[in-house]
Amino acid sequence: MEKKILDPNLKQILSKIANTIRGLSMDAVQKANSGHPGLPMGCAEIGAYLWGHPLQQNPKDSKWMNRDRFILSAGHGSMLLYSCLHLAGYQVTLEDIKNFRQLHSKTPGHPESLDTDGVETTTGPLGQGLGNGVGQALGLKLLEARFNTPKQKILNPKVFVLMGDGCVMEGVTSEVSAFAGHLQLDNLIAIYDANHVTLDGPLQESGSENTFERYKSYGWDVYEIDGNDLDELHTTISHIRENQTKPTLIIAHTIIGKGSPHKAGTSQAHGSPLGVEEVKASKIALGIPEEPFFVPQAVYDFFKVRQKQQAQVEEDWKKEFEEWAKTNPQLLKEMEIMIHKKLPVNLEEQLKAIEIKSPVAGRKASQVVLEKLADLLPFLYGGSADLSVSDLTMIQQFPIVTPGNFKGRNIKFGIREFGMATMATGMSQTGMIIPFVGTFLTFSDYMRNAIRLASLMRQQVIYQFTHDSIFLGEDGPTHQPIEHLAALRAMPQLHVIRPADANEVRMAWIAALNYKGPTALILSRQNLPTLDSTNVPYSEGVARGAYIIKKEVSSPPNFTLIATGSEVSLALDVSKELEKIGKSVRVISMPCWELYEKQNPEYKESIFGGDLGQRVSIEAGVEQGWHKYIGRSGIAISMESYGASAPASALATEFGFTVNAILEQIL
């Protein structure tokens, strides 16, 4: 690798920028009396170099399609990112820096993509930022394969990820790094802040792996440099940009808290303010003014010039894009559909026209719907954690994404559930893809923190969870979800939809496609009858979250039965037996609690208001949450223990999910 030396004038201003980052980071953490100064101080040269030289971005258009992405996976070091965004000209002011970690500020403790201009993804739980980065890199490769032509390559961005020891240690990075190496993602550059210090003390107390060889074994190119040396950064990153053929890791050895006379290189610089006297001593040692939040005018002037250069780069790209658009009108039309996520106006009509024979498993009905949707919606991409033959997420008419070939729409994520979920979020963050990912419901536990962050960010990801109850049968309690519905419903901004039959499956997909946030589709393994009473317009059924599928014969009803998924048909069977003995019964299908809670008070009253007799919920999961709808005196037919290995019919009898068993409980 040929050594490249930075222009002396550029190197001088980058050094000044690095020390400005250190000063802003120390001051912000000290003022907040909370935060992590160590990483921003240790990685200041990395931040200064990236924003001052190679990053292809335009701060005045932070969503420019062809921008390079930067992700701070080690999100606790957020002041590095906020300092760089402020100096580079994003909508992060010096006042925002001063309000670090304060209520409703643009500079929260960890970067949040909905709050702060220029933040590509919400990070903090370590390792997931790399997963998002791999997902973004994969998504961009898919888009490049779709829209670039032999003559006009309108998309060629890079994804940079800065991660720390905590990211390297977390298991999710093993999953996503192995996958990135498998697919040879040549647009991904990860920088490892190897400062040999964790929050709890020296790294050697908890780790001794050879990260260089580990990443080589994943199929990455790996470089090792002094991360505080601007010339080494320039030499290495310039070489990678010109020659990259696979994902690349730069192991950048840095000094945590660099510049602090008494805390640099120690865990004392990691997660606490340095202290007033140490901040003062650090500024003296660094040769920067003691004035809080000081930014040299020369730094602002440098970035003003750079902003003009970056704006011109985007303007030149727009001219190329216009030529591409004229030459490729069909591709332009497709791109506009993908950007705006346009749905056909007659989507509901088209989905209702699909023939799905009854009885049918929820997973199979979803597969049939997905095949149709893939034809209609070019922005749907997805796959499974090695279960596509079982969760039925494979789109048969499209190929599989393979190393070096990104023209497919099916992705085999391997047995990497957590990694798959983080990558799905990253794919969504490209702005042109709605990803769907599948596995068994019980394995949502592996994915939980990634689903939580997707919910926090309102990323439109669709999770297809199959094998949704004890009725999957013989695989037994290790695979039979019990508490998972309640656990997913506990997450704000996640829509959890458990369809009763093929009719509701069709409408559940419409709900997921219309919701600008994540959706979990909960689908059965076993066959379910298709019910006449669920064949209602989307706006009157699933869109409402809960709706009456059987009205009481006389008012008020003696019983109101509320069920989801496979238990809806069971509730209808119970209602028939109750009517035989002269009882009046209302039956409610409640596929989505979250959609129901968004309804107006009048509608809610029409479903659950007034005297409804004995309220009974029927769901093959824990009862947690149901008493909000059935009341303190309501009866929850539920699972309060783990399941067992047996055929589904035997399990129904064993755990009380039969008509006779329910009648015994409620009469």
pTM over 0.95: yes
270 falls within a domain: yes
Nearest-angstrom CA–CA distance, 135 and 574:
47
Cβ contact 164:74 at 8 Å: yes
Rg (CA), the chain: 28
Q: Using the 3D structure, point to which of 501, 534, 567 is the last residue of a domain.
A: 534
Q: Is residue 544 marked as binding? A: no
Question: What's the helix, strand, coil split of the chain in %, to 5?
Answer: 45, 15, 40
* Stretch (H or E) spanning 198: strand 197-198
Q: Each residue of 401-416: pLDDT tens digit? A: 999 899 999 999 999 9
Residue 363 annotated in ligand binding:
yes
Indicate if 420 and 276 belong to the same structural domain. no
Q: Are residues 140 and 269 in the same domain?
A: yes
Q: How far apart are CA 483 and CA 623, in angstroms?
A: 9
> Are residues 521 and 556 both part of a single domain?
no
The C-alpha atoms of residue 450 and residue 119 are separated, in whole angstroms, by 18
Q: Which two tokens stand for residue 639?
A: 């699972």
Distance in angstroms (rounded) separating the CA atoms of residues 453 and 543: 24
95 and 210 both lie in a single domain: yes
Residue 503 has pLDDT above 90, yes or no: yes
Number of domains in the chain: 3
Residues 350 and 306 in one domain: no
Name the band, by pLDDT with cuts 50, 70 and 90, for residue 2.
confident
Q: Is 440 helix (H, G, I), strand (E, B) or coil?
A: strand
Please state the rounded mean pLDDT for residues 325-352: 97
Whole-number pLDDT of residue 1: 84
The residue whose two tokens read 């957020």 is: 78
Question: Do 258 and 280 fall within a single domain?
Answer: yes
Number of Cβ within 10 Å of residue 635's Cβ equals 19
Tokens of 132: 């998002």
Say if residue 316 carries a ligand binding annotation.
no
Contact of 333 with 51, CB cutoff 8 Å:
no
Does residue 115 belong to any structural domain of this protein?
A: yes
The SS3 call for residue 208 is coil
Taking residues 476-494, what's their average pLDDT? 98
Same domain, residue pair 203 and 137? yes
**How do residues 111-141 score in pLDDT, each as one tens digit?**
999 989 999 999 999 999 999 999 999 999 9
Residues identified as active-site: 417
Asked which of 508, 534, 560 is the last residue of a domain, the reply is 534
The residues facing 253 across adjacent strands are 194, 226
Task: Confirm or deny that 125 is annotated as ligand binding.
Answer: yes
**Predicted confidence (pLDDT) per residue in 359-409, tens digit:** 999 999 999 999 999 999 999 999 999 999 999 999 999 999 999 899 999
pLDDT tens digit sequence for 589-635: 999 999 999 999 999 999 999 999 999 999 999 999 999 999 999 99
Q: Are residues 350 and 297 in the same domain?
A: no
Provide the 10 A C-beta neighbour count for residue 597.
11
Is 453 a residue whose pLDDT tops 90? yes
**Pick from 453, 441, 569, 460: nearest CA to 504:** 569
Annotated binding-site residue? 76 = yes
**What is the arrangement of strands in the sheet containing 495-497, beginning at the earlier edge strand?**
410-412, 380-384, 434-440, 462-466, 519-522, 495-497
pLDDT at 472 over 90: yes
Nearest to 118 by CA among 163, 88, 143, 98: 88
Distance CA 77, CA 270 (A): 9
The response to whether 585 counts as a known ligand-binding position is no
| Pair (57, 101) in one structural domain | yes
Residue 565: CATH number of its domain: 3.40.50.920
Domain for residue 471, yes or no?
yes
Report how far residue 648's alpha carbon sits from residue 222's, in angstroms, rounded to the nearest whole number.
51
Q: Is 253 annotated as a binding residue?
A: no
pLDDT > 90? residue 247: yes
Question: Comparing C-alpha atoms, which of 526, 521, 529, 482 is closest to residue 623?
Answer: 482
Instruction: Mark whether 262 and 119 lie in a shared domain.
Output: yes
Pure H helices in 328-443: 329-340, 347-352, 362-376, 388-391, 417-428
Does residue 277 belong to any structural domain of this protein? yes
- Is residue 333, in this structure, part of any structural domain at all? no
557 is in an annotated binding site: no
Note whether 641 and 574 are same-domain residues. Answer: yes
Beta carbons of 619 and 565 less than 8 angstroms apart: yes
In a domain, 292, yes or no: yes
> Cα–chain-centroid distance for residue 469?
25
Q: Are residues 521 and 624 in the same domain?
A: no
For a pLDDT cut of 70, what percent of the chain falls above it? 100
Q: Which of 4-8, 453-457, 518-522, 652-656 has the lowest mean pLDDT?
A: 4-8
When the pLDDT of each residue in the chain is averaged and rounded to a whole number, the result is 97
CATH number of residue 391's parent domain: 3.40.50.970
Residue 415 lies in a domain: yes
634 annotated to bind ligand: no
- Residue 666, number of CB atoms within 10 A of its CB: 17
Boundaries of domain holding 75 = 8-311
Is 479 labelled a binding residue?
Answer: yes
Residue 4 is predicted with a pLDDT of: 87
Q: Last residue of a domain, which of 470, 500, 534?
A: 534
Quick check: is 482 in a domain?
yes
pLDDT tens track for 166-179:
999 999 999 999 99
Cα→Cα distances 362→197, 224, 497, 516, Å: 49, 50, 12, 23
CA distances from 320 to 152, 155, 314 (A): 8, 11, 10
